[in-house]
């Protein structure tokens, strides 16, 4: 039995490396290789010396891959800092658009096209309801995050949308959503419109690709309700940002959920949302665990966080000119949060002084940047 640590996922990948290299494509292999080598001597790093106790500390570069759970701590805080001055000071609603599992194979085979279609039609649905004078009659906004997993690593494509409780009308004036703040739009109506828009887009894609959808599948897709979920309004931009950050920088699984692993199995915690959010434990063989994780590797360069309407860059610059982003270094960011990342983790009093670079044992990944110290955060 192995002790579960922060690099648990990397060790599981390493144990299955030969199998991975024979089963998956080059992009998936490069992604897993980055996670496997994250914060190891293979990526190089820096040597520091405490000016008080004299102990040496080695800090290795992170892979900075968006699928790596070890890199998400700093990225989450950077994202929060970036968004703090960009949100409009109003209530926000959380809306989730999902697809039926019957479309999973189509999404797995054409992820780039289908993910873009899902996000585009989710926004078109919200935008149509926003311009409807029955509900608002103004230009709405949305920050949208794509997710592809369930808690047990199953394949479940859906998008989380944070929508302000109002918009800008044709006269440039702010209008607040109707409904006395209890709901954004009726979810049953949202579901029907969303289903219609998605099916039109999917039919066009299938036709242009020279394929066909069976009549049986079409009947299932039109008869089955498409789930659109909406939560009550949230107050305060800080709570909205922190809430959204959990979705924006989240990866399919982190080491906190992995209980134990060896060459025969991987055990991890998950939440069973179909049975009153019960906490359960799932055991998979390592090969199946890796297969499920790989399903959630996004296409290269695909943008999973998108801003629409009045929350898009062009709108905010024109309508909300005071919402400017102040960029801080990683050191300044953590210091503002009360963490001195240059404090010696051994004596807790000395300051770490940079000594020299440690060259990587191989060429670093593209656009690799020096990873500022975060070991004692």
Average pLDDT for runs of 10 along the chain of length 377:
70 95 96 93 90 88 88 69 71 92 95 98 97 94 93 95 91 85 85 95 93 87 87 72 75 91 95 89 97 96 93 74 54 60 85 86 45 35
Cβ atoms within 10 Å, residue 139 = 20
Which pLDDT value is given to residue 27? Answer: 96
DSSP state of 363: P
Distance CA 177, CA 358 (A): 56
Q: How far from 256 is each of 70, 166, 267, 269, CA to CA, in Å?
A: 11, 38, 11, 9
Find the angle CA(156)-CA(161)-CA(166) to the nearest 5 degrees: 160
CA dist., res. 74 & res. 65, Å (int): 12
**Residue 323 tokens, joined:** 């919402």
DSSP 8-state class, residue 329 = -
Q: How far apart are CA 194 and CA 11, in angstroms?
A: 41
pLDDT tens, position by position, 319-375: 665 554 555 555 555 565 567 778 888 888 888 888 888 888 655 444 333 333 333
Is the separation of the CB atoms in 61 and 370 below 8 Å?
yes
Report the DSSP pairing between strands 266-272 and 155-164.
Answer: unpaired
Tokens of 59: 């800090």
What is the pLDDT at residue 183? 76
Q: Whose CA is closest to 30, among 2, 82, 68?
A: 68
Listing DSSP states for 81-101 in one string gives: HHHTTTS-SS-EEEEEEE--G
pLDDT attached to residue 337: 59
Q: How confident is the model at residue 296, as a pLDDT?
A: 97
In DSSP terms, which residues pair with 307 in a beta bridge? 143
pTM: 0.85
pLDDT reported for residue 114: 97
Burial label, 309 (beta-carbon count in 10 A; 0-12, 13-18, 19+):
buried
Cβ atoms of 169 and 180 within 8 Å: the answer is no
Q: What is the pLDDT of residue 85?
A: 62
Strands 56-60 and 228-234: unpaired
Number of neighbouring beta carbons within 10 Å of residue 11: 17
Position 315 scores a pLDDT of 79
Q: Which residues contact 49 (CB under 8 A, 6 or more apart)?
A: 55, 56, 57, 352, 353, 355
SS3 state at 318 = helix
Q: Show the tokens assigned to 23.
A: 């089963």
Contact in structure between 38 and 63 (CB atoms under 8 Å): yes
What would the two tokens of residue 14 be? 């390493």
| pLDDT score recorded for residue 375 | 36
Q: What is the dihedral of CA 37, 41, 42, 44, to 10 degrees?
A: 110
Largest Cα separation within the chain, whole Å, is 74
pLDDT at residue 239, rounded to an integer: 73
């Amino acid at each position: 039995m192995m002790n579960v640590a922060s690099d648990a996922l990397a060790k599981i990948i390493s144990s299955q490396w030969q199998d991975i290299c024979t089963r998956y494509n080059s992009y998936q292999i490069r992604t897993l290789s980055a996670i496997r080598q994250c914060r190891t001597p293979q990526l190089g790093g820096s040597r520091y010396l405490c000016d008080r106790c004299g102990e040496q500390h080695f800090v290795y570069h992170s892979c900075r891959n968006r699928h790596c759970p070890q890199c998400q701590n700093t990225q989450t805080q950077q994202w929060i800092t970036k968004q703090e001055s960009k949100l409009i000071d109003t209530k926000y609603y959380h809306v989730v658009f999902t697809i039926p599992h019957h479309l999973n194979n189509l999404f797995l085979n054409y992820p780039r096209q289908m993910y873009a279609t899902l996000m585009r039609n989710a926004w078109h649905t919200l935008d149509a309801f926003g311009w409807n004078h029955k509900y608002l009659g103004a230009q709405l906004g949305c920050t949208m995050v794509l997710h592809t997993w369930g808690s047990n690593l199953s394949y479940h494509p859906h998008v989380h949308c944070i929508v302000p409780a109002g918009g800008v009308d044709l006269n440039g004036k702010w209008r607040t959503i109707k409904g006395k703040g209890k709901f954004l739009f009726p979810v049953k109506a949202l579901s029907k419109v969303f289903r219609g828009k998605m099916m039109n887009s999917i039919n066009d894609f299938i036709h242009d690709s020279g394929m066909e959808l069976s009549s049986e599948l079409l009947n299932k897709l039109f008869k089955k309700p498409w789930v659109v979920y909406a939560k009550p309004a949230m107050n305060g931009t800080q709570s909205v940002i922190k809430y959204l950050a959990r979705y924006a920088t989240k990866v399919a699984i982190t080491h906190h959920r992995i209980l134990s692993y060896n060459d025969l199995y991987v055990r991890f915690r998950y939440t069973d949302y179909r049975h009153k959010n019960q906490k359960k434990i799932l055991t998979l063989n390592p090969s199946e665990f890796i297969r499920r994780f790989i399903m959630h590797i996004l296409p290269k360069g695909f943008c999973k966080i998108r801003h629409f309407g009045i929350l898009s860059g062009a709108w905010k610059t024109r309508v909300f000119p005071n919402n400017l982003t102040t960029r801080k270094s990683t050191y300044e960011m953590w210091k503002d949060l009360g963490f001195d990342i240059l404090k010696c983790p051994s004596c807790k009093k000395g300051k770490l002084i940079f000594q020299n670079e440690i060259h990587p044992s191989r060429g670093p990944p593209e656009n690799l940047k020096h990873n500022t110290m975060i070991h004692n955060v």
